């Protein structure tokens, strides 16, 4: 069994980012939204779901909101139970299989008639991914010491960005040049909205990638590191432990302020991640090739951003560095609001915004995770329960962000007002950080 701080253990933990990050990039951000839009009829098309007519984009944002609400409802119960029983690893395993198999289930989403299949598996895949992240994040304090957690957290994100870009490039060659692989249907042909088996095979490849590479992490992560044994009524004891953590949070001012800020800026960060491609497609009318280039640019720059800002945080502190990233998020959001869709160089402007977004995307995510880990009391053993608060906060923030985005689109018919509201989330998160005081590991 590896000891805390062991390089091999740290690499095995970080490697789960390599395995799972293909889901948020390929499924949530890049390929599935384009496929969903094509199958449901393009920008502004009407679809029927649960005997109700929806605009396809509004339905998509509400589906995302619902999946995040489900995770937010489940994770505090599951994580408190897993901490009590000492089996975070088993819960991680369950959710990664749920997510990866559901992604593969998207293969059967072929047309408007099978929209319910796409919606069902999109929800289950989202629950699987974010549910696994609850337990994955909770392992950070068990694999790395506080002084190393910034770098270890950054390593995970850098693994994730690298692996996801690699697989996305492969899947995009299948989509844009299906003849290279023996397929005759051109999935992105002008005016075509029919589904392509190339897209659907891409979903299967993502699920297989996730399952196979996760095995390395599962093999090396410790099981029941505190040697706990389950007893009777452990579910109710899980609730009591959750209530105890709530009580402890009331006396931890720095942690409370950070969670408030995290809630606010996460509403912006995660909503932009899942809907930036649709903004470029429907609001700026950019060709698919331009959107793909921008998405790849964001991912590649995010690798650099995660590395650079982790070094800045080592010198100047986590909170100072987070403030810098939030200022950049505010500027990026406001610039997107002002971006003219009819400008002849709109694609170059969009690339530039994508570069800045990528720079702070990796930095904000890795710093948020490591800052929270540092703020957890050192003597706690209920790390998954504490991290459930972190993840519940994030998921409720995404519910707020995506639901607000979808509601404003339904009311205004435009995404620009929604982007402006996201900017206000970043600004409010920055203001909350101004009230935080220095702690032992966070400044």
Per-residue model confidence (pLDDT) at position 129? 92
Report the alpha-carbon distance of residue 24 to residue 274 in Å, rounded.
Answer: 8
> Is residue 232 over pLDDT 60?
no
Is residue 174 within 8 A of residue 201, CB to CB? The reply is: yes
Per-residue model confidence (pLDDT) at position 99? 96
pTM score: 0.77
Share of the chain above pLDDT 90, in %: 18
| pLDDT tens readout for residues 282-327 | 777 777 667 777 888 887 887 788 788 888 888 888 888 999 999 9
Report the alpha-carbon distance of residue 113 to residue 47 in Å, rounded.
Answer: 10
| pLDDT tens readout for residues 143-186 | 888 777 777 877 887 888 788 888 988 988 887 777 787 776 55
CATH numbers and ranges of domains, the chain? 12-222+235-433 (1.20.1250.20)
> Is residue 195 over pLDDT 50?
no
Report the alpha-carbon distance of residue 131 to residue 117 in Å, rounded.
Answer: 21
Q: CA Rg, the chain, in Å?
A: 21
Per-residue model confidence (pLDDT) at position 324? 92
Q: Which two tokens stand for residue 36?
A: 């969903």
Report the alpha-carbon distance of residue 371 to residue 241 in Å, rounded.
Answer: 23
> Is residue 228 over pLDDT 90?
no
Report the alpha-carbon distance of residue 257 to residue 254 in Å, rounded.
Answer: 5
User: Which DSSP category does 228 fall into?
Assistant: -
Report the alpha-carbon distance of residue 66 to residue 74 in Å, rounded.
Answer: 12
Per-residue model confidence (pLDDT) at position 103? 96
């Amino acid at each position: 069994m590896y000891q805390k701080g062991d390089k091999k253990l740290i690499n095995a933990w970080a490697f789960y980012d390599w395995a799972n990050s293909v889901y948020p990039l390929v499924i949530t951000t890049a390929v599935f939204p384009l496929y969903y839009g094509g199958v449901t009829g393009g920008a502004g098309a009407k679809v029927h779901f649960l005997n109700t007519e929806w605009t396809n984009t509004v339905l998509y944002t509400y589906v995302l909101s619902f999946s995040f609400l489900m995770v937010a409802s489940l994770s505090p119960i599951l994580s408190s139970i897993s901490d009590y029983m000492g089996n975070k690893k088993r819960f991680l395993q369950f959710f990664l299989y749920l997510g990866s198999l559901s992604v593969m289930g998207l293969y059967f989403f072929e047309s408007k008639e099978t929209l319910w299949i796409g919606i069902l598996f999109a929800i289950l895949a989202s629950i699987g991914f974010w549910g696994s992240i609850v337990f994955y994040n909770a392992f950070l304090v068990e694999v790395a010491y506080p002084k190393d957690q910034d770098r270890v957290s950054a390593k995970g994100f850098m693994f994730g960005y690298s692996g996801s870009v690699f697989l996305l490039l492969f899947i995009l060659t299948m989509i844009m040049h299906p003849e290279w692989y023996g397929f005759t249907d051109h999935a992105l042909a002008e005016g075509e909205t029919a589904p392509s088996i190339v897209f659907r095979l891409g979903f299967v490849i993502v699920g297989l990638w996730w399952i196979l590479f996760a095995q390395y992490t599962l093999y090396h992560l410790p099981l029941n590191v505190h040697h706990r044994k389950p007893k009777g009524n452990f579910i109710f004891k899980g609730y009591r432990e959750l209530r105890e953590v709530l009580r402890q949070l009331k006396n931890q001012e720095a942690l409370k302020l950070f969670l408030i800020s995290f809630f606010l800026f996460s509403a912006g960060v995660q909503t932009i991640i899942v809907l930036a491609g649709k903004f470029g497609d429907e609001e700026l009318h950019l060709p698919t090739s331009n959107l793909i280039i921008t998405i790849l640019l964001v991912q590649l720059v995010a690798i650099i951003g995660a590395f650079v800002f982790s070094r800045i945080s080592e010198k100047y502190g986590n909170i100072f560095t987070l403030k810098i990233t939030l200022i950049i998020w505010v500027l990026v959001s406001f610039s997107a609001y002002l971006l003219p869709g009819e400008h002849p160089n709109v694609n170059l402007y969009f690339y530039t915004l994508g570069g800045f977004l990528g720079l702070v995307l990796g930095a904000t995510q890795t710093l948020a995770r490591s800052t929270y880990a540092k703020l957890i009391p050192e003597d706690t053993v209920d790390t998954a329960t504490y991290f459930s608060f972190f993840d519940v906060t994030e998921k409720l923030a995404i519910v707020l962000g995506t639901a607000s985005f979808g509601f404003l689109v339904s009311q205004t018919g435009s995404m620009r007002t929604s982007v402006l509201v996201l900017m206000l989330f970043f600004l409010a998160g920055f203001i909350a950080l101004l009230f935080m005081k220095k702690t032992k590991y966070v400044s």
